[in-house]
Amino acid sequence: ARRIGMETVSTRELLMDRELERWKKIQLDKTFTSRMIFEKEGPTMGTVGAVAIDDKGRIAAATSTGGTPNKLPGRIGDSPLVGCGTYADDFTAGVSATGWGESIMKVTLARRVCDLVERGYNALEATGVAIVYLERRVDGLGGVIAIDKDGNIGYSHNTPYMALAFSRKGETKVIMSE
Ligand code: ASP
């Protein structure tokens, strides 16, 4: 971003009071694990994902995360790992994931959704099957959004909440607002 001259802001400006308070609370309980955070609150850490397809069938996916609290500095989550939190392939689907990163990484969740589309599932079926697998295989918690090569939209989550919306030909629809 710096190289192409994008304006940057200080880290303090990115810090929300709500998150700072939550972080302070978590420090008091040494047994608090990231799984408990996702169980209690769902993926509310500030992760935003997007998937898109254009009129030429080119698919893109993006994931921006606030991370997970109480991790060692330098921890790399699933979001920037290709195939885990994010994946796009014009032949199958575009996928973005949120949730408990350690479990998402173990099953390379985003790539798994694409593989299911390759096997004939549409985006909705593929995201559903992938989340069931995440839960059964590694006791994971998370959610995914996807768009497949035919333009079908898919989403699934086993966390309490996952806000999502889609836009098609100028029409925008909020599916879940929390
Ligand atoms: N998946 C992210 C991580 O583990 C967190 C999230 O989606 O809220 O870093």
| Ligand 1 nearest atom to the CA of residue 75, by list position | 9
pTM score: 0.83
The CA 69 to ligand 1 mean position distance, Å, reads: 9
Collapsed DSSP state (helix, strand, coil) of residue 87: strand
33 included as an active-site residue: no
| Ligand 1 nearest atom to the CA of residue 77, by list position | 9
List, for residues 123-177, the tens digit of each pLDDT value: 999 999 999 999 999 999 999 999 999 999 999 999 888 899 999 988 899 988 7
Per-position DSSP letters for 143-159, written without gaps between them: EEEEEETT--EEEEESS
* CB distance 131 to 157 below 8 Å: yes
How far is it, in rounded angstroms, from Cα 104 to Cα 118? 20
11, 31, 44, 47: the active-site residue: 47
Diameter over CA atoms, the chain:
52
pLDDT of residue 2: 86
